[in-house]
Amino acid sequence: MPEANEIKDLLQQAAKELLEPLKEKAHENGETLAEMVKRDALVADQFKTVTATLDELEGKLADVQKNAVRPGSPAAQEESKTVEAWAPYMKAIGAENTADMRASVQDAFMKYARHGTDVMTMDERKLLSTDDNTNGGYLVIPEFANEVIKELAMVDPIRGVARVRTTGSNNWSIPRRTSRAAGGWVGEADAATESNSLYGRENIPNGALWAYSRATNEELADNAFNLEEQLRMDFVEEFAYREGVAFVSGNGVSKPEGLWTNSSVLSTVTGSATALTYAGLIDVSHGDATNGDFNPQYTRNGRFLMSNTTLGAVRQLEDTLGQLIWQPNAALGSPPTVLGFPYSIVPDAPAIAGNAYPVIFGDIGAAYTILDRVTFEMLRNPYAEDKNGIVRFTAYKRVGGSVVQPAAIRKLQVST
């Protein structure tokens, strides 16, 4: 609510500018403001004018806040999202999920980041303590953690197109149907045979992701230094890089399994030992003689994944009529397509080379699942580089990823 915040700031500034002179005058006379107002009629008139002005500003602030959070308004929807995001945290510390309490938690967190626990009161420490704190750090406040996740979604294309779930459990597996129910036709009075769907569990490999940032004592002590913004930028950059590599080529050992490394994903050859071909892209997105048709349920949400260099090669390919297969979308503001399908640039995708797999096609959301642990902790270490006057902040979280439905995607192999 920018307008409400502006009025609130104006109210605080007016209270300071209008009341401070009266308080100073009373102090010089050796009496309280109330005593001076009672004794001096002129001062009493001034005080009435000041309080009337402040009451007017408070009334305007109340009206703005009331209108801003009316049911169904954007502000009310945003407040609902904020309350929902903070709910697990507030439950963990046993506090009421109100705006004032959230502000207190934010202040305590930033005090911890700037100065550590030595200067914090016991009440402030309690605002950061939870039962999940097992690594000697503190859970990062929800709004800070959510900002990191949002920015990761913009940086990492796999996270942006895969299915992303959050969990507070150590159980890194999800149910997966391994066989459909097999129905059949029966004649009149014939007995139908029982045929049940079969289900198993898909274990999702995960690992601990770490990133750290460094700040000088001078930067931390300087109120003009935006500590929160700097930490977020550092953690976003490092988490995005590490996650991006793992989601593409991770081996599933202490890290997620990559899209390109799952051995159950079928592959289609380009027909050339050294280059991409138009026919190869058609086959991988529709089906080929070796692997059969590509399930149209997955091609309906199909998307190409490739590196920017590979996209450059694709943009030079032509169909049988001599038309480029990369086309700008006719709809205003819509992204361009390859063979009518959208695509995402994956920096860590393999390059075009013999026997390499530079392109993946399919329904990435159905094929790949990312699991984020709710826990996102930050540890403050003022000792590792204390001789240089530097404090190190380490962010920690657990993240998993795996191909849970190999049939939803196919790889394109540079091969004859």
Instruction: Report the predicted TM-score, pTM, of the whole model to 2 decimal places.
Output: 0.68
Tokens linked to 20: 């401070």
Share in percent of the chain as helix, strand, coil (round to 5): 45, 25, 35
Torsion over CA: 400, 199, 263, 414 (sign)? negative
Q: Looking at the predicted structure, is the pLDDT value of residue 2 above 50? A: no
∠ at Cα 220 (218, 221), nearest 5°? 65
Burial of 403 (0-12, 13-18, 19+ CB in 10 A): buried
pLDDT in tens, 7-39: 556 666 666 666 777 778 877 888 777 777 777
Q: Looking at the predicted structure, is the pLDDT value of residue 224 above 90? A: no
Q: What number is the average pLDDT over the span 185-213? A: 74
**Strand, helix or coil for residue 206:** strand
- CATH match for 138-178+199-416 among 3.30.70, 3.40.50, 3.40.720, 3.90.1690: 3.90.1690
Sorted by where each begins, the domain ranges of the chain are 2-68, 81-131, 138-178+199-416
Are the CB atoms for 53 and 14 separated by under 8 Å?
A: yes
pLDDT in tens, 180-195: 666 677 777 777 676 6
What does each C-alpha distance from 243 to 99, 398, 400 come to in angstroms?
33, 11, 9
pLDDT in tens, 31-70: 777 777 777 777 777 777 777 777 777 776 666 666 655 6
Q: What is the number of alpha carbons within 13 Å of residue 158 lying toward its C-beta? A: 32
Q: Please, what is the end-to-end C-alpha distance for the chain in angstroms?
A: 61
Q: Which amino acid is at 241?
A: Y
